[in-house]
């Protein structure tokens, strides 16, 4: 059996896809890696929320699967929107890597005053932790972000620790604690999406890691109930059923948060609905400030 696996063209996306292809090769399955360009890769001069959020990275690959140009696609699972097209299935979720954010800086930590990040969540959590910081927009792939840091445009930048590990990069700095800087839902997780075909899905099934799948499905259930997409600053992280979920004001000045042990998806949805009620005002504020219609 030979499969065509689609991916974005960034170094990180290719590293993740090659990891999956290598796991298939270990099982005697050939895979061709096909690069697909997305709007999120080309429109780097505007904030992510202005072009549709993280979903722009997924849409082009979804369409390529549905057109039959590729059999499957590999994603950072946190990029996959809650609403999914018919005809696709998430056939494998790999064992989770580090879920943490990593603060990269070459100057002393106490000298950091300007941090680069395009994430509304990271911005809000950084400002909550240190309100005097200036958090400036930063788009582009990992290499571009590191170059801008070294050019002195920022004192520090925030990247996903898992991405650095997958690229084999060792950079100065430290991971941010996940209880204070609660990660995005599914951060650190690689997912494989394929057309809803038992033969194709079955080829990827041995790569699935059941404990990770349960944790990230709990996170997604909470995310779906809270709503707000990637526009509202929110962190949702579950490990072994221990859930932390929070929604923040854009400036980090206020937040609503729950911490619970969750054993089932129905229970996760209940807590997601509860958090949505608690955080309704913050969600409305974020949409209004960003000029987005609910």
What's the chain look like in SS3?
CEEEEEECCCHHHHHHHHHHHHHHHCCCCEEEEEECCCHHHHCCCCCHHHHCHHHHHHHHHHHHHHCCCCCEEEEEHHHCCCCCCCCEEEEEECCCCCCCEEEEECCCHHHCCEEECCCHHHHHHHHHHCCCCEEECCCCCHHHHHHHHHCCCCCEEEEEHHHHHHCCCCCCEEECCCCCCCCCCCCCCEEEEEECCHHHHHHHHHHCCHHHHHHHHHHHHHHHHHCCCCCCCEEEEEECCEEEEEEECCCCCCEEEEEEECCCHHHHHHHHHHHHHHCHHHHHHHHHHHCCCC
Residue 38 has a pLDDT of 63
> Mean pLDDT of residues grouped by 10 in the chain (294 residues)?
91 94 96 81 47 67 94 93 89 97 96 95 97 93 92 96 94 97 96 95 97 96 85 93 97 97 97 96 89 73
**Residue tagged active-site, from 62, 71, 79, 101:** 79
User: Rounded to whole angstroms, how far apart are CA atoms 146 and 142?
Assistant: 6
User: Residue 75 — left, alpha, or beta (φ > 0 → left; ψ -120 to 50 → alpha)?
Assistant: beta
79 is catalytic: yes
Residue 50 has a pLDDT of 46
Residue 83 has a pLDDT of 79
Residue 82 has a pLDDT of 76
């Amino acid at each position: 059996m030979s499969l065509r696996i689609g991916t974005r063209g960034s170094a990180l996306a290719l590293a993740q896809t090659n990891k999956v292809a290598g796991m298939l090769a270990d099982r005697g399955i050939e895979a061709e890696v096909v690069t697909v360009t997305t709007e999120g890769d080309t429109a780097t001069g505007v904030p992510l929320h202005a072009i549709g959020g993280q979903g722009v990275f997924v849409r082009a690959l979804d369409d390529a699967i549905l057109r039959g140009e590729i059999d499957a696609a590999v994603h950072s699972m946190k990029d996959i929107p809650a609403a999914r097209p018919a005809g696709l299935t998430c056939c494998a979720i790999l064992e989770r890597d580090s879920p943490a954010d990593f603060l990269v800086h070459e100057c002393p930590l106490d000298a950091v005053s300007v941090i680069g990040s395009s994430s509304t969540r990271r911005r809000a959590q950084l400002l909550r932790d240190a309100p005097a910081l200036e958090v400036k927009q930063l788009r582009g792939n990992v290499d571009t972000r590191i170059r801008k840091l070294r050019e002195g445009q920022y004192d520090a930048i925030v990247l996903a620790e898992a991405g650095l590990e997958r690229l084999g990069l060792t950079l100065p700095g430290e991971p941010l604690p996940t209880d204070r800087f609660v990660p995005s839902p599914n951060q650190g997780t690689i997912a494989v999406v394929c057309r809803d075909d038992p033969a194709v899905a079955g080829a990827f099934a041995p790569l699935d890691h059941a404990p990770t799948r349960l944790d990230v499905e709990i996170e997604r259930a909470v995310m779906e109930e809270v709503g707000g997409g990637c526009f509202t600053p929110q962190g949702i992280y579950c490990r072994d059923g221990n859930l932390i979920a929070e929604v923040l004001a854009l400036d980090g000045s206020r937040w609503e948060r729950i911490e619970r042990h969750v054993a089932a998806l129905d229970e996760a949805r209940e807590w997601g609905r509860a958090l949505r009620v608690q955080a309704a005002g913050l969600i409305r504020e974020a949409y209004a400030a960003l000029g987005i219609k609910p």
